[in-house]
Structure 1
């Protein structure tokens, strides 16, 4: 009797979720369901590099595995190319995106013979649905890089791999213990960039020019109630060294000719020492790059902003959320309107451009608080503003407060930052959508 062959993982396809329709021979998502829904119009604000998938791909390459990375969100791809790459792979890895639910369902159904792995906070919160309905074989929760390598090495023996959820022989979900956070980020390989075309990734701040996303740190010491990264990082901040960061930037400039960077940290200016260290390293190497970051206005320091500008920073993006102190307390922002005002004034005095991000829909939101926020925006006169709806994203403390009321596999369809099927205050979902559209006028 022939010995049964044990399935092993050697070739892995990483793919961004997309609209999968076998009747359509050209796959081009065109616009993202969240990013391009501003003001009810298809306004394109950029195409983000899938840095999470690229980090996992880099770890596998470093460990001797074969990988491919396809991003139908960034470039038109014929269905044949996606199908061939999927057939080539032993395992398929992708984030779960509620906006692409039906396309994902068709896609994973067509490739049941592969090891189908989902990553990200949403997938881990609907693991029961994904596993029982045969959408997935394994779900990685938390930081995925090390778990991905262990999966490739050990599959199908996964019962001792921390940080995963898998389906048992009896079709029951098994939740393994969580995986410790990666403390030394410098030991991670740089995310792979040669598997995608750099010209396809851009950001509105660089007017459509090729842009590279780079991660300098993980985690944030603040505790905003709506932050979906809270569950993963638990307010733990871990930083790469300035030399390691700028080495990667230098490599991107050399290999891809890209000089525009998005610093993809949750909050870049938590530590003045770290910010100055990165800026000094960029200046020392005379990189001649441009970059922007997300930051808190209440942590702004004049000399630090000047150094940022000298090193190539063209914009700071401030999540002010609201110009009402009661709402800020509810959101657990640990700041006040006056502190934010002072920080923005310092930013202006340092000659730095800035943009603002706001969130409408808190329980105490009213016509008056919305007017206050809009008045504050006009007074501050930012480069531009983005408006979003307060959404209980999976992984956030806000989500934990209401998750028992949700039918997750259905209700998550519109759980993005411009829509929510569960308004938390006096305004309905439809009214909040109208408020956002009016705010952009």
Structure 2
């Protein structure tokens, strides 16, 4: 059976919670979910599999249709997140326009939230809930034997299961032993398609790496549907890194939701990297309350160049509203240790949370001045489906209807998800976000400090380009839009 795994063209993605540069141009990561499916199929089946990252290749739907005609797949798997549901649905319709007999299966974070609604979309034959590697392969096996794929854990067929009550948290849909999975099929994508503004050189290949799945924390703004944390062994992680190094990769972005949940595990991974003498650079996303000096020293020795922390707010009251489970003292200590050890820090903040006032926002700016991160970003809170904050917005009457469920049933290209506009309007939230970014990135002292850290011409090029594009988004564009509005009024 010929299988094509597709990351859709992101032609209709809505952006305004982050600056356009941060959302679209700062980085592009390989589709690890699809690569993991492909790796499993290559190892345990005889099916022929390809990956088409239509977003990375900047495809339009006409080109997607042509690619489908040229390959002629029997089964198409499409990954879908709520933020690009419309494009995923349009991709499914495009497949059926090419050949009605191609079986179309959707999987991914959105399907875990809205399995029944996804099954009812035009052109969708089945959905996979949970970890897809084993379930999707069993679906392919069933279809190749001219069966309909029913009766497989985690697989639901549109014709027979669309009204079935599905529990996405069912443990049967998830894989506990992550070491049993083959490594992602990186050979099926073009590594040159992927990049990051933090990359230190054009000659170095970069990739993403996932060493765990799930998250035990329950932040109120987070969409993660499965709270059980499953971690790969340090030995297994090192084996994947070694395979990547042998294939020319030298930069890694560890994409775990909380890589440093176990400090001891992080240290063990770092020690193994040092033993192998890998000449690599890597970064990870972590929590400030899971940091100590020993871990950071080993991370630095093993090539860790940057750690990204979700701080969210400088107000303890807002942190509590987000159910972050961290204190401001945790933040101060983590960033103090980072500066001493010499690892770059990236702080994520949110503006516009439940009950947030201008004073809370000012406290975030004050915190930034005190902890002195190397990089920051501010996003505007967008209540996403499946989150406690979204449920709270409906309960408080900020929105009268379950608009995300309506969008899941009938995705449209002009859908604009509301923000949390309790104390601020949309324009005020954008203005606050832009003010925070301007006050941080366009200080002469910051620019001078960043210039002293540049190690290559490529880094200098990235820094200049990033600065210009960020200036466009948070300085020039708002002035231009305000001028247009003034002209319209007069």
TM range (shorter): 0.7 to 0.9
Q: Which residue of 1 aligns with 2:73?
A: 89
292-301 or 277-286, larger mean C-alpha shift: 292-301
| 5+ long unaligned stretches in structure 2 | 395-399, 439-490
CA distance 1:390–1:37, change in 2 (3 Å): closer
- Judged with a 3 Å threshold, the aligned counterparts in structure 2 of structure 1 residues 110 and 206 are, in CA distance, closer, same or farther, namely closer
Flag the 1:259–1:33 CA change in 2: closer, same or farther, 3 A: farther
CA deviation map 1:115-146 (0-9, x unaligned)? 11111222343444433342411121211111
Shift in alpha-carbon separation, 1:318–1:188, aligned structure 2, 3 A: same
Cα separation, 2, equivalents of 1:36 and 1:421: 10
Residue 185 of structure 1: aligned partner: 178
For the residues of structure 2 that align with 1:147 and 1:85, how far apart are their CA atoms?
A: 26
Other-structure match for 2:426: 429
Is 2:230 the counterpart of 1:238? yes
Q: Is the 8 A contact 2:380 2:419 kept in 1?
A: no
Distance 1:216 1:110 in 2: 34
* TM, length-normalised to structure 1: 0.85
Say whether the 8 Å CA contact 1:14–1:70 is kept in structure 2: yes
Structure 1 gaps of 5+ residues are 1-9, 21-28
The Cα shift of 1:83 comes to 2.9
* Alpha-carbon spacing, 1:163–1:105, altered in 2? closer, same or farther (3 Å): closer
Report the equivalent of 1:109: 93
The residue number in structure 2 matching 1:70 is: 52
Whole-angstrom CA distance in 1 between matches of 2:2 and 2:258: 35
Note the alpha carbon deviations across 1:183-220, whole angstroms, 9 max, x for none: 11111000001111111112222257431101111122
Aligned length: 414
Question: Which string of whole-angstrom CA distances, capped at 9 and with x for unpartnered residues, describes residues 245-302 of structure 1?
Answer: 11111111112x1100001111111112100110011000001100000111222101
Are residues 266 and 388 of structure 1, via their aligned partners in 2, closer, same or farther at CA, if it must alter by over 3 Å? same
Answer with 257-266 or 11-20: which moved more: 11-20
Match status 1:380 vs 2:376? no
Write the distance in 1 (CA, Å) between the matches of 2:17 and 2:387.
Answer: 23
- The DSSP-based 3-state class of the residue aligned with 1:109 is helix
Aligned mates of 1:414, 1:383 — CA distance in 2: 39
Contact 1:98 1:414 in 2 (8 A): no
**Aligned runs of 1:219-230 on 2, under 5 Å?**
219-229=214-224
Judged with a 3 Å threshold, the aligned counterparts in structure 2 of structure 1 residues 35 and 75 are, in CA distance, closer, same or farther, namely farther
Question: How far off is 1:166 after superposition?
Answer: 2.6
Q: Which residue of the partner structure matches residue 159 of structure 2?
A: 168
- Structure 1: distance between partners of 2:310 and 2:23: 23
Deviation for aligned residue 1:425 = 2.9
Structure-2 change in CA distance of 1:172 and 1:251 (3 Å): closer
Could you tell me how far apart the structure 1 residues matched to 2:21 and 2:273 are? 40
Question: How far 1:35 moved relative to its partner?
Answer: 9.9
- Are 1:159 and 1:176, in contact at CA under 8 Å, matched by a contact in 2? no
Question: Which of 105, 122, 135 is the matching residue for 2:110?
Answer: 122
Alpha-carbon distance in 1 for matches of 2:119, 2:6? 19
Q: 1:60 offset after TM fit, Å? A: 1.3
Q: Pick from 49, 52, 55: which aligns with 2:30?
A: 49
2:19 is the counterpart of 1:38:
yes
Tell me if structure 2 keeps the 8 A contact 1:292–1:315.
yes
Determine if contact 1:68/1:195 at 8 Å carries over to the other structure: yes
Q: 1:405 aligns with which of 401, 404, 408?
A: 401
Matched, 1:138 2:126: yes
CA contact (8 A) 1:124 1:139 kept: no
Q: Distance in 2 between matches of 1:42 and 1:249?
A: 27
Corresponding residue number in structure 1 for 2:198: 205
Partner of 1:320: 311
- CA pair 121-354 structure 1, distance change in 2 beyond 3 A: same
> Higher mean Cα deviation, 307-316 or 401-410?
401-410
- C-alpha displacement of 1:422: 4.1
- In the other structure, the counterpart of 1:157 is 148
Which secondary structure does the structure 1 equivalent of 2:311 belong to?
strand
* Cα separation, 2, equivalents of 1:206 and 1:432: 31
Instruction: Give the structure with the higher percent helix.
Output: 2
Q: Is the 8 A contact 1:216 1:263 kept in 2?
A: yes
Rounded to whole Å, the distance in 2 between the matches of 1:103 and 1:295 is: 31
RMSD: 2.8
Distance 1:302 1:60, change over 3 A: same
